[in-house]
Amino acid sequence: MTTTHSSNTRRPKSHRKSRLRLQAALATVAVAAGTGVYMSMPGEASAAVTGSATGFATQNGGTTGGEGGKTVRATTGTAIHEALCNRAAADTPITIEVEGTIDHGNTAKVSGDSCSTAAGVIELKEISNVSIVGVGKGATFDQLGIHIRASSNIIIQNVTVRNVKKSGSPLSNGGDAISMEDGVRNVWVDHATLEASGGESEGYDGLFDMKNDTKYVTLSYSTLRNSGRGGLIGSSETDVSNSFITFHHNLYENIDSRAPLLRGGTAHMYNNHYVSLNSSGINARAGAKAKVDNNYFEDSKDVLGTFYTDTAGYWQVSGNVFDNVTWSKASGDNKPAGPDPKSNTSVSVPYTFELDGADCVPAIVSRTAGANKGLKVSDGSCSPQIPAPSDPTPADPEPTEDEPTSPAPEPTASEPSEQEPTLPGGTNLSIGAGSDGSSRADGTSYGNVRDGKPNTYWSPQGSTGSVSVKWGTATKVSAINIREAAGSEGTIGSWRVLNGDTGAVLATGSGAGPVSFTGTSLKKVTFEITSAKGTPKVAEFETYAG
């Protein structure tokens, strides 16, 4: 086995988009009795999706979902099916805003000329121009998969799909969280959380599967976790008609394999964070071509290559970070790309995209990927932004008459105290915790800031960067203490302390030392250095409850 730690990153220009909010009173709604559907009145149109499609979903005419059509609100799976079936035609645009838990108990088959649905699964079959968007307190598809078949121009945004089974009980969608097949075109899945609770032996299959001539798909800002199989593109070595798939700013966590499995076709993976890929990761085979740019692979095994077949695939690699990645020795039908991955093909894409530096991918993905995270995206410089929607942001509550409808202010940082802060007391919670960050200079480690040793330290690559302390469960923190390594005292300039779960600013200031702020329950706290007199050296990042 060989373990590698390497990186090669670049940072492009940045831009910032403003956040808009419109009054909910502009849309008049009526209740469709007994169905759980709240439908806009005739003539009303809405574009509830936040942002625009990216990657390959922008090709082949683009992916706009239900843009320009009516908007309905659904709180049951049956209501989703009724909304599809009540359209004038199978291609009549519609946006379905979903809130609450969709499960087997509230998802029945509905018939109609504009739909073809089934019980126990959200069926998008032989239709087009549909958006499904989680709103309000969130949309959870519990043990119930979303099946897209022979359909086109579909958007799924801000939803959670969990624990879909192919064996055991209850069954849904062949065990896939989201699946596409039979000539599907132009699908954008964004800010979704797809998760299982085990592998095939526990009854689960893939989280995100494409087969039988599926093309022009983008999966962005989503979390895929706790599954034996992340997803596949092509169901067999002869199913090589699937192609033009983009994966960007996604978190793959605790996945055994298929992150994804690509049989034939072309896929582009950029700015994804892969953590705990237990057996293999991106598996290009049967002539597939993968463009792999500025991703961060961490604590994983055989993250790229051709596995479990003698039919080779190909890859073009650039700017990736391999942090504690273990590579097997090539033998038989296993051909890992490492320990020093090199390109063996050239892949071009027809769309424009902005790359975050791979060193900050863990930080930006943790703040943007998944459902109910505020629909934040990256601006290409490792800074999360909220794209301007044309309707209220799905995760936001609708404003009341007393609420201002101007853009929501950014979280307010606590003002630096005029008095010299005192050292916090109690137990240093960093000891025994985890850590990560935006970048690390050669010879330094994120773990050095929590080892209790003043002679070891972390430094960023350059004069600015961030380091975080994290826990497996929410932990209350109300103070930190930053200790610089001997000989580097006074190097740290300005800084921010961030809630690593939400990105909220807890405190700002300058120089090392103790920092106090309002007690906050979180899984991750980040110390971000925004200016320095040289290369900072943080020996200890101590955290305290109070």
Residue 383 is predicted with a pLDDT of 84
Mean pLDDT of 254-264: 97
Residue 151 amino acid letter: S
Residue ranges of domains in the chain: 2-378, 410-544
What is 410-544's CATH number, 3.30.465.10, 1.10.3720.10, 2.60.120.260, 1.10.10.10?
2.60.120.260
CA distances for 486 relative to 381, 403, 437, 446, 493, angstroms? 32, 52, 21, 17, 16
d(C-alpha 359, C-alpha 276), whole Å: 17
Q: Which residues pair with 510 in a beta bridge?
A: 494
pLDDT tens per residue, range 216-258 = 999 999 999 999 999 999 999 999 999 999 999 999 999 999 9
The distance in angstroms from the start CA to the end CA of the chain is 44
Query: How is domain 2-378 classified at the CATH fold level?
Result: Pectate Lyase C-like (2.160.20)
Residue 443 is predicted with a pLDDT of 85
Answer yes or no: same fold for 2-378 and 410-544. Answer: no
Tell me if residue 57 falls in helix, strand or coil: helix
CB count within 10 Å of CB 117 equals: 24
Q: Report DSSP letters for 173-222, one per residue.
A: GGG-SEEEESS-EEEEEES-EEEEEE-GGGTB-BSEEEESS-EEEEEES-
pTM recorded for the entire structure: 0.68
pLDDT tens per residue, range 297-352 = 999 999 999 999 999 999 999 999 999 999 999 999 999 999 999 999 999 999 99
pLDDT, greater one: 3 or 224: 224
pLDDT category, 263, cuts 50, 70, 90? Answer: very high
User: What percentage of the chain exceeds 70 in pLDDT?
Assistant: 84
Least confident of 33-42, 67-76, 217-226, 457-466: 33-42
Give me the active site residues, please: 258
CA distances for 231 relative to 172, 218, 304, 460, angstroms? 16, 13, 15, 34
CB 158 within 8 A of CB 192: yes
